Structure 1
């Protein structure tokens, strides 16, 4: 006798179908789920990410991230930056991600 079979001996057997609700238990006035169709994809012009950002923005981002990864004085989650880190963060924040059209 295995340990598992010893544990299972104390569990009552289940009756097939005893836990399934019947259709008589359901009311007809319940709200039903409806499938709402959405557009397949957002238009490309309304969504900007790092891959579609301007080269200036990517350079500002890379300089800022490269600095805060090695600087012991900067701690971005709390907004604490050294002088150089604060300047790089300001440059990063002020550089537009999209080119003006």
Structure 2
């Protein structure tokens, strides 16, 4: 006799009876909306600004700025601390329009 079988001998049987449990014959209430909700369409009709739709000038200014702050030990973008070159690149990045004028 193993230790596990000794422990299982003292546990009650998992199946008390083979009968299926009786279902409640009362009808349960159903939840329905009192009035249908009007929702705005989720289809976005106007284009949104992203790097994929940005102007090449903006992407170039962004890339120059990011490449600089990743290697410069004096620049720390989260606090807005930049060296002279980093401040110049950040200003160029900020003033470059992301979307083309129409």
**What TM-score results when the alignment is normalised by the length of structure 1?**
0.64
Unaligned runs of 5+ in 1: 10-22, 25-30
* Aligned equivalent of 1:20: none
Which entry has the higher C-alpha Rg, 1 or 2?
2
1:41 to 40, 43, 49: 43
Deviations 1:29-48 (A, max 9, x none): xx97x655332321243x11
**What TM-score results when the alignment is normalised by the length of structure 2?**
0.63
Structural mapping, 1:47-62, within 5 Å: 47-62=48-63
Flag as ranges the 4+ runs of structure 1 deviating above 6 A: none
Structural mapping, 1:46-85, within 5 Å: 47-85=48-86
Deviations 1:43-91 (A, max 9, x none): 243x110000000000000000000000000000000000000000000
RMSD of Structure 2 on Structure 1 (CA)? 3.6
SS at match of 1:39: coil
Unaligned runs of 5+ in 2: 12-27
* Aligned equivalent of 1:91: 92
